[in-house]
């Protein structure tokens, strides 16, 4: 399978995206994502059609493939001036002069009343307009997916053709509506420019992240005398293993690991947290973060295309291209909108002519219906709000994996927390230990525990191995991690060792108060206790949820006593302790059936439950599988942004509803007004363009709106 990622120009609405999607499906493409908001089109092909053939087909639909979005994330250069603005400026002088004929008496420019002069002024505008709207309209009709350009082309052509007949037959000035045709085309071009500019403003948070991907790096190389040489290179050319020098005030060019030096790092671009974080040798740096103070030498751990920042940008773009359920109704309406408006326009002409017996007035009213109708508003209502919501979330350190999660947040009435690493910091330290086997020395006991726990990703295991790190660990004949229990190993001598939770001591001990129990051949040889600090924001977050009427649960594999102590300290409503991954999954399934439920976890044992919850939420420093399973990732290494993610979800859905209400009401009110002659075609063209701007502005409020 070949992955294709294009930037496609000319997609103005949902119908455009749907047309491209249907064509790609017909060509056998899979994994199709079409986002008309920013022009991104991604899909996979299996060799039946070449990229060149598909590109030719897409351009045959009336769109332009501007270029490939390359592996390093760079996009084709934008033209110096927006195409809609360029056409507006080309048409505007002719249109202004045409409109001056209405003041010919005041200005004394009677020559403007000459029909042949008006034809000469209107013709360039009409040709430019038909080269854009007409060509697009014909191609959309040919493919059975009429777009809004059909309405513009038909309306402008009707006014131009009517005027041309009046000119050729010398029927007088009552038959001259060249200024109507020219004004429609010019104002729609201008409206499209305002719309595209407004849509781009909804992308500003994501564009800021994308821009942060591109930076010049100081690459360390060595000459023939093995002396260091600093070479400036584009960070897109860095590969895993390269050595780089990063100085105070510079941006980290790629994900890397510090080999030498100390620095204070501002990771706000990723985590939303502006306070600098101290980093030392062996610590990881995230590409896109900023060195506030200090100088380090580091080794690149991921190429630009695989960096954390690149993955965030790509995930947000994919999410923006998806449609939440609320958009489905609008899409159905948009699909039949253009044919319905054409039918209304024809009906408007027939009824008005039957009542008024005035061909000119009837024609102008039907043209006004065509021009004022706006299917784009219906198609833009959801994507504009989703783009802003996801963009603000990414800027604030919240990563939504799909757009549906934004909508689902509005219904969440239960939140389930894991304990270790979620409500607590996960920065555990060994508090106490005891050796129950008199034949074991302290050194031997620590070696057994270290040799077992070094293979586990559990936070408790990591804290023990960090505290008791040693050389000469035991080489096991076989070792495995049993989810929900712990580590199990067999030595080369055939002895079985286990380090795990209280469940491994079943029938051996009744003392549930310890964290890790160590067994040799099913006999208890000792235990280890660790202590963990509660996250400073945990209590505030739980209180916020309770204030919103959301019930909270603590679901943990730890002992009931420890779980209840943590729950009591932060104010959680209900505790479900000593649970295996299978039991966690069953509880989440039960709770989700009762009411929409969000689950927050960070470990391997949480992954099944995260996947089963209405919304799975993971922390960025969680295990890889937990992050991959979750719908939402909190990038600030803590719970601080959980209220923000809930608030953004609810307010994004509220904005979508407001946008759809406006889009439906606008068309329901504007079309009848035009049909009854209360709105002229020229005024209709202006209002049509501004209707989309209203949606973009309303969506843009999400950038600054208080959501928590």
| Three-state secondary structure of 362-398 | HHHHHHHHHHHCCHHHHHHHHHHHHHHHHHHHHHHCE
Please list the residue range(s) of the chain that carry CATH number 2.70.150.10: 215-306
Query: pLDDT tens, 107-126?
Result: 666 777 788 888 999 999 99
Report the pLDDT value the prediction gives residue 211, as an integer from 0 to 100.
Answer: 61
**Hey, which residues does 291 pair with through a beta bridge?**
265
Report the pLDDT value the prediction gives residue 71, as an integer from 0 to 100.
Answer: 43
Burial group, residue 299, by CB count within 10 angstroms (0-12, 13-18, 19+) = middle
Q: Cβ(369)–Cβ(348) under 8 Å?
A: yes
Query: What's CA 594's distance to the chain center, in Å?
Result: 29
H or E stretch covering 259: strand 256-260
The SS3 of residue 34 is strand
Dist CA 322 CA 147 (whole Å): 21
The SS3 of residue 183 is helix
H or E stretch covering 204: helix 204-211
Q: Where is average pLDDT lowest: 491-495, 541-545, 619-623?
A: 619-623
Query: pLDDT tens, 502-531?
Result: 888 888 888 888 889 999 998 999 999 887
Query: pLDDT tens, 56-85?
Result: 888 877 788 877 655 444 445 555 577 888
Q: Where is average pLDDT lowest: 430-439, 492-501, 564-573, 605-614?
A: 605-614
Dist CA 603 CA 223 (whole Å): 46
Residue 370's nearest CA partner among 405, 342, 330, 399 is 342
Q: Cβ(435)–Cβ(442) under 8 Å?
A: yes
Report the pLDDT value the prediction gives residue 198, as an integer from 0 to 100.
Answer: 60
Q: Does the 2-68 domain belong in CATH 3.30.70.100?
A: yes
Report the pLDDT value the prediction gives residue 316, as an integer from 0 to 100.
Answer: 61
Q: Where is average pLDDT lowest: 31-45, 550-564, 618-632?
A: 618-632
Residues in the chain: 708
Half-sphere exposure at residue 129, Cβ-oriented, CA atoms within 13 angstroms: 32
Residue 239's nearest CA partner among 255, 228, 222 is 255
Q: Where is average pLDDT lowest: 151-155, 193-197, 330-334, 473-477?
A: 330-334
Half-sphere exposure at residue 444, Cβ-oriented, CA atoms within 13 angstroms: 10
The two beta strands, 574-576 and 551-555, are parallel
CATH superfamily of 429-531: Calcium-transporting ATPase, cytoplasmic domain N (3.40.1110.10)
Q: Is the model's pTM score more than 0.75?
A: no
Calculate the CA dihedral of residues 149, 150, 156, 158 and round it to 10 degrees: 180
Statement: residue 689 has pLDDT above 70: no
Confidence of residue 297 (pLDDT cuts 50, 70, 90): very high
Neighbours of 276 (CB within 10 A): 18
Dist CA 428 CA 61 (whole Å): 59
* CA dihedral sign, ordered 661, 664, 666, 672: negative
CATH superfamily of 398-425+534-640: HAD superfamily/HAD-like (3.40.50.1000)
**Hey, which residues does 430 pair with through a beta bridge?**
530
Dist CA 269 CA 224 (whole Å): 39
Q: Read out DSSP for 636-653?
A: TSSSTTHHHHHHHHHHHH
Residue 311's nearest CA partner among 624, 596, 665, 685 is 624
H or E stretch covering 416: strand 414-417
Dist CA 202 CA 205 (whole Å): 8
Report the pLDDT value the prediction gives residue 167, as an integer from 0 to 100.
Answer: 87
Q: Where is average pLDDT lowest: 31-35, 57-61, 380-384?
A: 380-384
* Phi and psi, residue 36, nearest 5°: -70, -15
Dist CA 75 CA 134 (whole Å): 29
The SS3 of residue 37 is coil
The SS3 of residue 621 is coil
Please list the residue range(s) of the chain that carry CATH number 3.30.70.100: 2-68
Statement: residue 403 has pLDDT above 80: no
Half-sphere exposure at residue 374, Cβ-oriented, CA atoms within 13 angstroms: 33
Confidence of residue 12 (pLDDT cuts 50, 70, 90): low
- Residues 429-452: what's their mean pLDDT? 90
Give the residue with greater pLDDT, 311 vs 300: 300
**Hey, which residues does 399 pair with through a beta bridge?**
633
H or E stretch covering 478: strand 478-482
- Residues 680-694: what's their mean pLDDT? 72
Report the pLDDT value the prediction gives residue 573, as an integer from 0 to 100.
Answer: 92
CATH number for the domain whose boundaries are 215-306: 2.70.150.10
Statement: residue 566 has pLDDT above 80: yes
277-279, strands of its sheet edge to edge = 277-279, 263-266, 290-294
Confidence of residue 270 (pLDDT cuts 50, 70, 90): low
The gap between the terminal CA atoms of the chain, to the nearest Å, is 44
| Active site positions, annotated | 418
**Hey, which residues does 528 pair with through a beta bridge?**
433, 516
Confidence of residue 623 (pLDDT cuts 50, 70, 90): very low
Dist CA 22 CA 477 (whole Å): 56
Confidence of residue 620 (pLDDT cuts 50, 70, 90): low
Residue 474's nearest CA partner among 446, 501, 499 is 446
Query: pLDDT tens, 201-246?
Result: 655 555 665 665 667 888 988 877 778 888 888 877 888 888 999 9
The two beta strands, 523-531 and 516-520, are antiparallel
Burial 48-76 (b: 16+ CB within 10 A, else e): ebeeeebbeebeebbbebbeebeebbbbe
Please list the residue range(s) of the chain that carry CATH number 3.40.50.1000: 398-425+534-640
64-68, strands of its sheet edge to edge = 30-35, 40-45, 2-9, 64-68
Statement: residue 128 has pLDDT above 90: yes
**Hey, which residues does 552 pair with through a beta bridge?**
415
Burial group, residue 615, by CB count within 10 angstroms (0-12, 13-18, 19+) = buried
Residues near 144 by beta carbon (within 8 Å), at least 6 away in sequence? none
């Amino acid at each position: 399978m070949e992955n294709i990622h294009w930037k496609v120009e000319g997609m103005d609405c949902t119908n455009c995206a749907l047309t491209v999607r249907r064509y790609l499906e017909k060509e056998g493409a899979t994994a199709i994502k079409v986002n008309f908001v920013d022009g991104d089109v991604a899909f996979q092909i299996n060799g039946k059609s070449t990229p060149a053939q598909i590109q030719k087909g897409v351009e045959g639909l009336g769109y332009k493939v501007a270029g490939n979005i390359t592996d390093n994330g760079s996009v084709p250069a934008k033209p110096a001036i927006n195409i809609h603005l360029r056409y507006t400026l080309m048409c505007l002088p002719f249109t202004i002069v045409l409109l001056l004929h209405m003041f010919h008496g005041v200005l004394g420019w009677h020559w403007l009343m000459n029909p042949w002069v008006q034809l000469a002024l209107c013709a360039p505008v009409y040709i430019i307009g038909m080269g854009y709207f007409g060509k697009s309209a014909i191609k959309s009709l040919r493919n059975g997916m009429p777009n809004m350009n059909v309405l513009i082309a038909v309306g402008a052509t009707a006014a131009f053709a009517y005027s041309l007949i009046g000119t050729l037959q010398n029927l007088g000035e009552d038959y001259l509506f060249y200024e109507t045709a020219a004004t429609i085309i010019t104002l729609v071009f201008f409206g499209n420019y305002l719309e595209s500019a407004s849509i781009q403003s909804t992308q500003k948070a994501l564009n800021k992240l994308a821009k942060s991907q591109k930076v010049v790096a100081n690459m360390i190389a060595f000459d023939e005398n093995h002396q260091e040489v600093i070479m400036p290179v584009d960070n897109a050319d860095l590969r895993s293993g390269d050595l780089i020098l990063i100085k105070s005030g510079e941006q980290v060019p790629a994900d890397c690991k510090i080999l030498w030096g100390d620095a204070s790092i501002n990771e706000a671009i990723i985590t939303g947290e502006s306070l600098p974080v101290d980093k030392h040798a062996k610590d990881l740096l995230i590409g896109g973060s900023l060195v506030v103070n200090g100088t380090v030498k580091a080794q690149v751990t991921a190429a630009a295309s695989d960096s954390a920042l690149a993955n965030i940008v790509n995930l947000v773009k994919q999410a923006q291209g998806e449609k939440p359920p609320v958009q489905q109704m609008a899409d159905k309406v948009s699909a039949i909108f253009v044919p319905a408006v054409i039918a209304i326009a024809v009906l408007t002409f027939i009824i008005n002519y039957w009542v008024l017996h005035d061909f000119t007035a009837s024609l102008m009213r039907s043209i006004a219906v065509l021009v004022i109708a706006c299917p784009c508003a219906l198609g833009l209502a959801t994507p504009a709000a989703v783009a802003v919501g996801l963009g603000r979330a990414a800027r604030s350190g919240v990563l939504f994996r799909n757009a549906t999660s934004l909508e689902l947040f509005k219904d969440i009435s239960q939140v389930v927390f894991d304990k270790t690493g979620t409500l607590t910091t996960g920065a555990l330290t060994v508090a106490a230990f005891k050796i129950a086997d008199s034949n074991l020395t302290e050194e031997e006991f620590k070696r057994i525990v270290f040799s077992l726990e070094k293979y586990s990703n559990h936070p408790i295991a990591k804290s023990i191995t960090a505290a008791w790190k040693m050389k000469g660990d035991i080489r096991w004949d076989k070792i495995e991690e049993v989810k929900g229990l712990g580590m199990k190993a067999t030595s080369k001598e055939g002895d079985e060792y286990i380090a795990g939770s209280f469940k491994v001591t079943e029938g051996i001990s009744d003392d549930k108060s310890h964290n890790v129990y160590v067994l040799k051949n099913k006999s208890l040889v000792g235990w280890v206790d660790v202590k963990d600090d509660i996250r400073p924001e945990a209590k505030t977050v739980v209180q916020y949820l309770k204030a919103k009427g959301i019930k909270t649960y603590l679901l943990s594999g730890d002992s009931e006593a420890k779980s209840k102590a943590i729950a009591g300290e932060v104010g959680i409503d209900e505790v479900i302790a000593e649970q295996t991954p299978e039991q966690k999954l069953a509880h989440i399934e039960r709770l989700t059936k009762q009411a929409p439920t969000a689950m927050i976890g960070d470990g391997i044992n949480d992954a099944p439950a995260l996947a089963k919850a209405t919304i799975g939420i993971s922390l960025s420093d969680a295990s890889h599988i937990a992050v991959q399973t979750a719908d939402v990732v909190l990038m600030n290494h803590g719970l601080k942004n959980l209220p923000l993610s809930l608030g953004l979800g609810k307010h994004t859905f509220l904005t979508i509803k407001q946008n759809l209400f406006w889009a439906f009401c606008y068309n329901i009110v504007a079309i009848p007004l035009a049909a009854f002659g209360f709105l002229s075609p020229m005024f209709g063209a202006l209002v049509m363009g501004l209707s989309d701007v209203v949606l973009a502005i309303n969506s843009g409020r999400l950038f600054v709106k208080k959501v928590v």
